[in-house]
Each structure stands twice: as C-alpha cells, then as structure tokens.
Amino acid sequence: MKDARLTCEGRIKVPYKWYVGETGSRFFTALRDRCEIWGTRCPSCNKVYVPPVKNCWQCFRHLEEWVPVDGSGVVESFTVARQPDPMFNLEPPVIYGLIRLGEASGSLLHYIGEARPEEVKVGMRVKAVFADRRSGNILDIKYFAPHRD
C-alpha cells in the first residue's frame, strides 16, 4: 500500500500582552513623548545600558541612575536581510544594524534606513529618526539614518 501523506494544518493562536515593567515603561514614555533615548548606568562597572535594565547582570545590582543618551551613534555591525518572513510586513531589503549610541556601553538592535545596502559600512555614523505617530514601543524609533553632513 502506497504511503498516504496526509497533513493537518493548524495555527497556535495565543494572544500575548507583555508587561514592560517600570524601567522599560520609563524608557518608552521618553521615546514616545519627547523623542528622547535614556539608559541606566551601573555605579559599579560604569556600564550604560540602552535599552535600560533594572539590574546590571555583570555586577548583579539594582540600577537607579538614568542617563540621557545621544540619538546618534556608530554602526557596529549590520546585515541586509533579503527575504524577511511575510508575517513581519517588511519590504526587502531590510537593513538591520547594531548601533552604539552616545555613551552607551553596548549597541542597540534596530533598522538602518534612508541608505542603500551598498553604502552601509561598519563605523558609519547614524542618527535616530523617530516615527511620526509613536505609541511607546521600540518602533517609535523608525530607523537610524546615515549622518549626511
């Protein structure tokens, strides 16, 4: 008897609502209301975290100090995604970057926009471009665009 290769289709539909927490809420509120980027600083190791964290994982201590962070920075790495999953409604090519902003000790994952894939380089200076309509989430930053001066 030949194999019958039946399949059953389905989808997991569990809605989620993630609580951002007070620390994250403060970060997103500043993005939404004032187009400002803030981080938290650890007094022990001096690391500045963007996005901010409530606890420095290196020193394992609570962080209380908030520091404003420059909206411009440097591309530490990038990639040009050629075939994003349709679920994300992204028009390829999509350029992802790890961008080190101002005094931050690490880099922020986000999009690079207003740039052709060929012109993006590690070390390039970019600046945050904010969305016109902001709702208090990471996409309040639309993308980071090259400094053209």
106 lies in the site for another protein, by CB under 8 A: yes
Which of 30, 31, 63, 100 is the binder for another protein (CB under 8 A)? 100
Over the range 97-111, which residues count as b (16 or more CB within 10 Å of their CB) and which as e? bbbbbbebeebbebb
Site residues for another protein, 10-39, by CB under 8 A, read 10, 12-24
Distance CA 66, CA 38 (A): 7
Stretch that binds another protein, among 7-15, 29-37, 64-72, 126-134 (CB under 8 A): 7-15
- Quick check: helix, strand or coil at residue 23? helix
44 lies in the site for another protein, by CB under 8 A: no
Contacts of 40 (CB under 8 A, 6+ apart): 23, 48, 49, 52, 53, 54, 63, 64, 65, 66, 67
Nearest to 78 by CA among 50, 109, 37: 109
Which of 53, 112, 124, 128 is the binder for another protein (CB under 8 A)? 53
82 lies in the site for another protein, by CB under 8 A: yes
Write out the residues near another protein by the rule CB under 8 A: 3, 5, 8, 10, 12-24, 49, 51, 53-55, 57-58, 60, 76-85, 87-88, 90, 94, 96, 98-100, 105-111, 117, 122, 137-139
